[in-house]
Amino acid sequence: MLRQIFLIGFLLVAGCLQPTKSVSISPPFDAPPQVSGCVGTFSAVTMPEQVLDAPYPHAWEDSPSGLVSILLEMLKCAHVSWGPLERSNVGFIFELTDRGYVPNTCRYDHPDFMDVLLKLIVDDQDLADLMHARYPGFPVLSGQISVHQSSVQSFDFMDWSWNVAGGANSTLRGGDGHDTPNVDAESERFFWPNGEGLGVLQLDRSFSGGTQVVVHPGTMQRPMFYAEALPYSNYVGYGSATLDFNSTASVKMFGDQECKTPLPS
């Protein structure tokens, strides 16, 4: 519901890690990954596909509209758990695109939203290493992510900053007015190509968030796809805030890009 409100509005308008002992990634982790106590910002920008030539799985058909959205989901989570791995104050930056028509066979269980995962930045090296080890081709990078929250009169700001390998900082200012929070539960499904196969990450989440759609100014630097695709770094998107985000994640791997040949987990 929150993203539906955002997309309607868009069309109308248009920390540091706590020290923790390193965890071996060799044994299987039977418990699903979980995050809780997250705050976040959802932002998007839409341009013609000739401008934002975003990649998508080659076995899929292209989107018929000729328009491509780049979406950012930014989270700072009080707690992350995955098997024996426990972390606090972890940041995530999902860079996504809606380009490509998702095959019907990949729409199983009817998730609320489906996008292609361009990259995930996480500010925990152990988590990044674990994702790389367990899921071939997973587009995850380890970086530094911070968010500063402040209030001016009746508006709450979230100032995000992140980088990878000590590179230039990307930034985004999100925010939310003190309207009545929207409480909802949704499922998001993210796809990434792995050679001739496909990885599928699903987030089953509950959250409360603002319903206001606001302008998000910022700057995008490499390795963000937005910065690679455009000759300038200035970013102006639109979106909304997530005030209390909790989610359980699951991953499936397929030997084809139409989700017909599941691989053992």
The pLDDT assigned to 222 comes to: 97
The pLDDT assigned to 188 comes to: 97
The pLDDT assigned to 154 comes to: 76
Report the alpha-carbon distance of residue 40 to residue 57 in Å, rounded: 28
Q: By three-state DSSP, how is residue 84 classified?
A: coil
pLDDT, mean over the chain? 88
The pLDDT assigned to 32 comes to: 86
Range 116-137 average pLDDT: 94
The pLDDT assigned to 220 comes to: 98
Report the alpha-carbon distance of residue 38 to residue 77 in Å, rounded: 4
Query: What are the extents of the domains in the chain?
Result: 2-9+34-52+67-254
Percent helix, strand and coil across the chain, each to the nearest 5 = 10, 55, 35
The pLDDT assigned to 179 comes to: 63
Report the alpha-carbon distance of residue 176 to residue 154 in Å, rounded: 9
Question: Under 8 Å CB-to-CB from 61, ≥6 apart: which residues?
Answer: 100, 101
Report the alpha-carbon distance of residue 56 to residue 252 in Å, rounded: 18
The pLDDT assigned to 235 comes to: 98
The pLDDT assigned to 184 comes to: 85
Q: What is the pLDDT of residues 182-218, one digit of tens each?
A: 788 999 999 999 999 999 999 999 988 766 789 999 9
The pLDDT assigned to 196 comes to: 97
The pLDDT assigned to 223 comes to: 97
Q: What is the pLDDT of residues 132-191, one digit of tens each?
A: 999 989 999 999 999 999 988 878 899 999 999 999 999 999 987 766 667 889 999 999
Q: What is the pLDDT of residues 75-108, one digit of tens each?
A: 999 999 998 889 999 999 999 999 999 999 999 9
Q: What is the pLDDT of residues 22-54, one digit of tens each?
A: 444 444 556 789 999 999 999 999 999 999 999
**Which DSSP symbol is given to 61?**
B
Residue 241: C-alpha distances to residues 72, 74, 126, 210, 263 (Å): 12, 10, 28, 6, 36
| Band of residue 4 on the pLDDT scale cut at 50, 70, 90 | very low
Report, at the CATH architecture level, how domain 2-9+34-52+67-254 is classified.
Answer: Beta Barrel (2.40)
At position 214, the amino acid (one-letter code) is V
The pLDDT assigned to 16 comes to: 31
Greater model confidence, 32 or 57: 57
